[in-house]
Amino acid sequence: MKLRASPSLPTLQLNLPMLNVASIVLPAETRAELVLALVELLVEAAQPPLEQARDGGADEYETHR
């Protein structure tokens, strides 16, 4: 049995221009508030909801298929 090479499909590439925007200088107090808000969002996103953590997750039954 001889395998034939499949014709390669062209790939789509988007070339978007980079914007050169001047950076904004934030006051230290505002910067600290933004950093704390970002940390809170990251911590919340990393933790599963309590009901899912207790039951092993809503899709646990799918792990043993």
How many other CB atoms are found less than 10 A from the CB of residue 59?
8
Q: How far apart are CA 56 and CA 65, in angstroms?
A: 15
The pLDDT of residue 5 is 60
The helix (run of H) or strand (run of E) holding residue 37 is helix 28-46
- Note the pLDDT of residue 54: 57
Q: What's the token pair of residue 36?
A: 């704390």
Mean pLDDT by groups of 10 residues along the chain of 65 residues = 64 81 89 96 83 58 58
Instruction: Give the pLDDT confidence score for residue 31 in this predicted structure.
Output: 94
pTM of this structure: 0.42
